[in-house]
Amino acid sequence: MNPANNISSRLRTALIVSVSLCFFVLQTRLCAQEEPPRPMSLSTFQDLSFGAFITGYMGGTVIIYPDGTRSVTGDIITVFQGYQHHPAIFEVEANPGVVISIMNGPDITLNGSNGGTLTLHLGGSIPESPFVNTLRPPFRTQVRIGGTLIVGNMLDNPAGEYSGTFSVTFIQE
């Protein structure tokens, strides 16, 4: 065996290993420490709206789903008089990988401009709770929340605008 070939073979092997290690190191992202915890920020993008409808002698419910669709039960008739229906939309800004849970507040009473009250029960969300935030700030995740409006008969709930305030808690884990 020729000693020059043996040294040449070892140099080739060492060179291949060195190049492979350099390629591996260049392909691997190294971090000295993870990002510091960042407080979640939240803003309201759109309020919850049930649109316009007419109630009959029995009443019923008007449901807004998180995807924006609307359905009714009982003898309620939906009408389109320039009032749009849509879910509430909140925008969440948080570090990627953060788990966020949504906790709906209690049912609330909406007061009518001409008297009467309606009950609002908050519904599900898109994305469903809990969810993992995937966007890196300054990008925001939109969270859509629907609800169910419990409507009495036309004597208990006269025509008019009904309004109120509800609470939703977003928990960062």
The pLDDT value given to residue 149: 97
The pLDDT assigned to 7 comes to 56
Confidence at 82, pLDDT banded by 50, 70, 90: confident
Tell whether the model's pLDDT for residue 145 goes beyond 50: yes
pLDDT for residue 79: 93
**Fold observed for domain 41-172:** Immunoglobulin-like (2.60.40)
pLDDT higher than 70, residue 39: yes
**pLDDT greater than 60 at residue 122:** yes
CB 146 within 8 A of CB 120: no
- Helices (runs of H) and strands (runs of E) counted in the chain: 1, 15
Q: If you average pLDDT over every residue of the chain, what do you get? A: 86
Tell me the C-alpha distance between 113 and 136, whole Å: 43
pTM: 0.77
